[in-house]
C-alpha cells in the first residue's frame, strides 16, 4: 500500500496507527505558550463576537459593569488580541534566546488567570466579580510581561527589548481603560482603546517586518527582500504618531496625528511593494499575511484622512485596522506558527484559504457600514464572516494545538 503524503493531512484530526483519533493531551497543550493562548484567543474571538452580534441585533441583553460597546472593545483588544500577541512573543522568545520559554504549570496558571478575567468580566454586574476581573487581568499582564522580559534580559537579546515597553504600555492603557470606565469617563475609555489599536499597528509593523519577507523568501525559494531604511524610519515614526494621537485627547498639539498616519500608511505600502512577488497567490499562508499588511497600510492612510477631513467615520476606519489588519494577521500567523511549531508541513487547504478570505472581507464590510445606508445589515454580515473564519480555524487547529508534535520532538 502506498504511503500517504503527510502534507495532505497536515491540518486534519490526528490519528493513531489503528485509525482512531488521539485524545487531547494536557502535557502537549501547555508545552509552549502559543498552544493555549492561540486556542484561547480563537475561541474567545468566536464567543465574544457571537455575543456582541446578538446584542447589537437586539437578540441578547445582559448586565455588565461596562457599557456593552466598551466591553466589546476591551475584549477584542485586551482579551483576544493581547493573548494571541503574548502567545506568539513567548514562543518566539525561545527561538530568539535559546532559553526554554514558559510551559507546564506556570503556563497553565497564566492561562487560568486569562480565563478567570474573561468570565468574571461577563458577570461583573456583581461587584466582587468586577474586583476579581481587575485583579486577574492585571496579574495576567504582570505574569506575561515578566515571563517575556526575564527571557530577553537573561539572554541579553537587546534587539527584542522593545517588546517589553510595548506590552507594558498596553497593560498600562488597559488599566487606564478600566479606571476610566469605573468613573464613567466613557469617552476617555474609548480613546484609550483607539490608542491601543495603534499600538497593535506598531506591533504588526515590527513583527510583520521581520516575518513576512522571511516567510515569503523561504516559501518561494527567493532572496529575502529587506528594507533597512524603511525599518529605521517606521518604528520611531509609529511611536511619535501613537503618542500624538494619545495626547491629542488631553491637549491641543500644533500638528495633528492624522499627518503622521498618512505618512505611515505610505511607508508601509512602499515596504509591502518590496516584499510582494507575484508567486504569493499560490501560497495561502503568504497572501493572507500580505493582504493583512495591506489592510494595515490602507487603514492608516484612511485613518489619517478621517482625522484630517472627516470624510470617513473615524470608528469605521478603525474597524478596517482591527478586523482586516489585526485579526487578519493574527489568523494568518496562528495558522503558520501552529504548523511550524508542531512539526507539520507549512501548507493549508481550501477551507483555511476560505477562512482567510472571509476575515479579510469582513474588515471592509464593517468599514463601509455607515456609508452603505444599511449599517445593521453590514455589521451583521461582517460579524458572520468573522465567526465563520474563526470557526473554520478552530475546527482544523483544535487537534493541532492539543496534540504532541507530529515529528515527535518536544514543544
Quote the domain boundaries for residue 278.
Answer: 23-402
pLDDT > 70 in the chain, percent: 93
93-148 per-position pLDDT tens digit = 999 999 999 999 999 999 999 999 999 999 999 999 999 999 999 999 999 999 99
Q: Is residue 83, in this structure, part of any structural domain at all? A: yes
State the average pLDDT for the chain: 91
Round to whole Å and give the CA distance between 34 and 45. Answer: 16
Q: What pLDDT, on the 0 to 100 scale, is given for residue 312?
A: 86
| Residues 358, 328 contacting (CB under 8 angstroms) | no
Residue 285 pLDDT greater than 50, yes or no = yes
Round to whole Å and give the CA distance between 152 and 163. Answer: 9
Q: Is residue 72, in this structure, part of any structural domain at all? A: yes
Q: Is residue 409, in this structure, part of any structural domain at all? A: no
Q: Is residue 132, in this structure, part of any structural domain at all? A: yes
| Residues 25, 405 contacting (CB under 8 angstroms) | no
Place of cell 476579581: 132
| Residues 75, 48 contacting (CB under 8 angstroms) | yes
CATH number for the domain spanning 258: value is: 1.20.210.10
Mean pLDDT of 265-294: 93
Q: Is residue 10, in this structure, part of any structural domain at all? A: no
Q: Is 64 exposed, middle or buried (0-12, 13-18, 19+ CB in 10 A)?
A: middle
| Residues 383, 53 contacting (CB under 8 angstroms) | yes
**Set of cell numbers at residue 172:** 498600562
Q: Is residue 131, in this structure, part of any structural domain at all? A: yes
Mean pLDDT of 31-58: 97
Q: Is residue 209, in this structure, part of any structural domain at all? A: yes
Name the domain count of the chain. Answer: 1
Q: Is residue 233, in this structure, part of any structural domain at all? A: yes
Amino acid at each position: 500500500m502506498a504511503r500517504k503524503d503527510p502534507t495532505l493531512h497536515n491540518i486534519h484530526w490526528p490519528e493513531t496507527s489503528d485509525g482512531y483519533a488521539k485524545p487531547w493531551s494536557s502535557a502537549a497543550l501547555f508545552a509552549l505558550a502559543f498552544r493555549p493562548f492561540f486556542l484561547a484567543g480563537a475561541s474567545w474571538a468566536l464567543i465574544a463576537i457571537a455575543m456582541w452580534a446578538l446584542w447589537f441585533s437586539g437578540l441578547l441583553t445582559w448586565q455588565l459593569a461596562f457599557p456593552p460597546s466598551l466591553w466589546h472593545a476591551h475584549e477584542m483588544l485586551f482579551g483576544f488580541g493581547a493573548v494571541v500577541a503574548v502567545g506568539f512573543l513567548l514562543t518566539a522568545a525561545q527561538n530568539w534566546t535559546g532559553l526554554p520559554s514558559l510551559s507546564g504549570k506556570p503556563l497553565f496558571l497564566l492561562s487560568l488567570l486569562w480565563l478567570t478575567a474573561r468570565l468574571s468580566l461577563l458577570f461583573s454586574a456583581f461587584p466582587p466579580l468586577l474586583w476579581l476581573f481587575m485583579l486577574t487581568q492585571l496579574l495576567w499582564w504582570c505574569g506575561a510581561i515578566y515571563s517575556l522580559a526575564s527571557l530577553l534580559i537573561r539572554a541579553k537579546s537587546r534587539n527584542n527589548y522593545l517588546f517589553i515597553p510595548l506590552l507594558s504600555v498596553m497593560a498600562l492603557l488597559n488599566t487606564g481603560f478600566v479606571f476610566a470606565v469605573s468613573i464613567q469617563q466613557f469617552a476617555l475609555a474609548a480613546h484609550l482603546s483607539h490608542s491601543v489599536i495603534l499600538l497593535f499597528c506598531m506591533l504588526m509593523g515590527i513583527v510583520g517586518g521581520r516575518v513576512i519577507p522571511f516567510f515569503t523568501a523561504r516559501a518561494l525559494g527567493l532572496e529575502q527582500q529587506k528594507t533597512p531604511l524603511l525599518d529605521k524610519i517606521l518604528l520611531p515614526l509609529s511611536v511619535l504618531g501613537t503618542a500624538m494621537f494619545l495626547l491629542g485627547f488631553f491637549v491641543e498639539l500644533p500638528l495633528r496625528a492624522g499627518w503622521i498616519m498618512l505618512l505611515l500608511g505610505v511607508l508601509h505600502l512602499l515596504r509591502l511593494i518590496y516584499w510582494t512577488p507575484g508567486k504569493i497567490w499560490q501560497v495561502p499562508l503568504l497572501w493572507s499575511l500580505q493582504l493583512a499588511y495591506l489592510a494595515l497600510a490602507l487603514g492608516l492612510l484612511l485613518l489619517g484622512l478621517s482625522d484630517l477631513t472627516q470624510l470617513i467615520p473615524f470608528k469605521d476606519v478603525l474597524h478596517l485596522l482591527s478586523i482586516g489588519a489585526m485579526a487578519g494577521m493574527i489568523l494568518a500567523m496562528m495558522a503558520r506558527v501552529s504548523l511550524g511549531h508542531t512539526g507539520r508541513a507549512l501548507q493549508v487547504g481550501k477551507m483555511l484559504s476560505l477562512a482567510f478570505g472571509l476575515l479579510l472581507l469582513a474588515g471592509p464590510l464593517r468599514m463601509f457600514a455607515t456609508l452603505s445606508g444599511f449599517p445593521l445589515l453590514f455589521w451583521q454580515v461582517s460579524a458572520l464572516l468573522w465567526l465563520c473564519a474563526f470557526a473554520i480555524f478552530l475546527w482544523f487547529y483544535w487537534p493541532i494545538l492539543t496534540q504532541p508534535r507530529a515529528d515527535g520532538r518536544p514543544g
